[in-house]
Amino acid sequence: MGIIYFNDWAHAYSNKNTGLAKRFAQEFKRSLHLAKKSERGYTTIISAVDGEYEGLEWERTQEDDIIKFRLNKPLLPKESVQLIITYKVKLPPNKYTDYGYDNRGNYYLKDWYLTPAVYDGKWHLYSNKNLEDLYTNSTKTTIDFTYPKALFLNSNFKENKRTEMTNSRRVELVAENQKSAEIFLNVQNLFSTHITPEMKVVTSISAPRYDPIEQGISINRITDFIERNLGKYPHDKLLVSETDYNKDPLYGINQLPSFIRPYEQQFQFEMKFLKTALNSILGETLFLDPRKEQWLNSAIANYLMIAYVDEFYPDQKLLGNLSRIWGIRSFNLAKMDFNEQYPFLYNLTARKNLDQALTTPNDSLIKFNQKIANKYKAGLGLAYLADYIGKEKVDESIKTFFKYYQLNKVKVLDFESILKRSTEKDINWFFSEYVSTDRKIDFKIKKVDKTEDSLRVTIKNKEGTNVPISMFGLKNDTLVSKYWFKDIKTLETFTVPNNQEDRLVLNYDQTIPEFNQRDNWKSLKGFLSSNKKLKFTFFKDSENPYYNQVFYVPVLNFNIYDGWVPGMRLYNKTLLERPFIYDFAPSYSFRENAFVGYGKFSYRKYLSKSGLYVANYSLGGSTSHFNVNSRYTSITPALSFGWRPDDLISNKRQVLSFRFVNIFRDFDESLSDLANDPENPDYSVFNMRYLNRDNDILDYKSWFLDFQLAGKFSKLSFEYEYRKLFENNRQFNVRFFAGKFLSNNTDSDFFSFALDRPTDYLFDYSYLGRSEDTGIYSQQIIIAEGGFKSFLDERYRFSDNWMATVNTSFNLWRWIELYGDAGLVKNNGFKEKFVYDSGVRLNLVTDYFELYFPFYSNNGWEISQPNYGEKIRFIITVSPKTLTGLFTRQWF
- Averaged pLDDT for residues 60-71: 93
Confidence band for 888, pLDDT divided at 50, 70 and 90: low
Q: pLDDT value at position 660?
A: 98
* Residue 652: pLDDT over 80: yes
What domain count does the chain have? Answer: 3
pLDDT at 262: 86
pLDDT at 1: 58
Q: Evaluate if pTM is beyond 0.85.
A: yes
pLDDT value, residue 772: 81
Is residue 539 a contact partner of residue 551, using CB atoms and an 8 Å limit?
yes
Question: Are the C-beta atoms of 180 and 116 separated by less than 8 Å?
Answer: no
Residue 37: per-residue pLDDT? 87
Q: Is residue 337 part of a domain?
A: yes
| Same domain flag for 446 and 395 | no
Give a yes or no: residue 516 inside a domain: yes
- Do 460 and 414 share a structural domain? no
Q: 301 and 360 share a domain?
A: yes
Model confidence over 552-578: pLDDT tens digits? Answer: 999 988 888 888 999 999 999 998 999
pLDDT in tens, 351-385: 999 999 999 999 999 999 999 999 999 999 999 99
Region 782-793 average pLDDT:
93
Q: What is the mean pLDDT of residues 386-415?
A: 95
Q: Determine which helix (DSSP H) or strand (DSSP E) holds 355, and give its type and residue range.
A: none
464 and 402 fall within a common domain: no
Of 104, 137, 170, the last residue of a domain is: 137
Specify whether the CB–CB gap between 559 and 772 falls below 8 A. no
Alpha-carbon distance 156 to 178, whole Å?
9
CA torsion sign, 305 to 306 to 312 to 316?
positive
From 438, 464, 487, give the residue that closes a domain. 438
d(CA 473, CA 499): 8
Task: Please check the confidence at residue 880 and state whether its pLDDT lies above 80.
Answer: no
8 and 114: one domain? Answer: yes
In a domain, 759, yes or no: no
| 529 residue type, one letter | S
Q: Within a domain: residue 128?
A: yes
- To the nearest whole percent, how much of the chain has pLDDT over 90? 72
- Average pLDDT on 146-151 reads 95
Asked if residue 523 is part of any domain, the answer here is yes
Average pLDDT (653-668) is 93
**Lowest model confidence (mean pLDDT) among 72-81, 170-179, 212-221, 698-707:** 72-81
β strands within 669-747, DSSP E: 683-694, 699-710, 713-725, 731-744
Q: Is 375 among the domain residues?
A: yes
Residue 697 in any domain: the answer is no
What is the per-residue pLDDT for 849? 84
Please indicate whether residue 736 or residue 672 has the higher confidence score (pLDDT). Answer: 736
Domain that holds residue 34: 1-137
Mean pLDDT, the chain, rounded, equals 91
What's the mean pLDDT in 669-679? 59
The DSSP letter of residue 253 is: G
Domain boundary among 399, 422, 438: 438
In this predicted structure, what is the pLDDT of residue 629? 85
Residues 405 and 451 in one domain: no
- Residue 530 confidence class, pLDDT cut points 50, 70, 90: low
**Torsion over CA: 211, 213, 214, 219 (sign):** positive
Give just the sign of the alpha carbon dihedral 142, 148, 149, 155: negative
Predicted confidence at residue 620, as pLDDT, reads 96
Domain at 490, CATH number: 2.60.40.10
Residue 678 pLDDT more than 60? no
Q: Note the pLDDT of residue 882.
A: 56
Q: Residue 88 — φ and ψ, nearest 5°? A: -115, 145
> Is the same domain home to 259 and 381?
yes
Structural domain includes residue 302: yes
pLDDT digits 0-9 by tens, 802-823: 999 999 999 888 889 999 999 9
What residue spans of 152-235 are helical by DSSP H?
212-229
The whole-number pLDDT of residue 379 equals 97
CA 155, CA 277: separation in Å to the nearest integer?
14
3-state secondary structure at position 273: helix
pLDDT-derived band of residue 224, with 50, 70 and 90 as boundaries? very high
Could you tell me if 448 and 434 lie in one domain?
no
| The predicted structure's pLDDT at residue 35 | 86
Residue 369 is part of a domain; what is its CATH number?
A: 1.10.390.10
Look at residue 672 in the predicted model and tell me its pLDDT.
57
pLDDT digits (tens, 9 = 90+) for 294-343: 999 999 999 999 999 999 999 999 988 888 888 888 898 999 999 999 99
Same domain, 413 and 485: no
Report CA 152 to chain centroid distance, whole Å.
Answer: 37
Q: Count CB atoms within 10 A of the CB of residue 23.
A: 20
Give me the pLDDT at residue 694, please.
Answer: 93
Q: How confident is the model at residue 416 (pLDDT cuts 50, 70, 90)?
A: very high
Considering the domain architecture, whether residues 260 and 409 belong to the same structural domain is answered as yes
Res. 677: pLDDT tops 80: no
Output 674 or 470, whichever has higher pLDDT.
470
The answer on 493 and 450 residing in a single domain is yes
Note whether 404 and 256 are same-domain residues. yes
Burial class (CB in 10 A: 0-12, 13-18, 19+), 784: middle
Residue type, 142: T
- Please give the C-alpha separations between residue 716 and each of 281, 655, 663, 753, in angstroms, as whole numbers: 62, 17, 20, 10
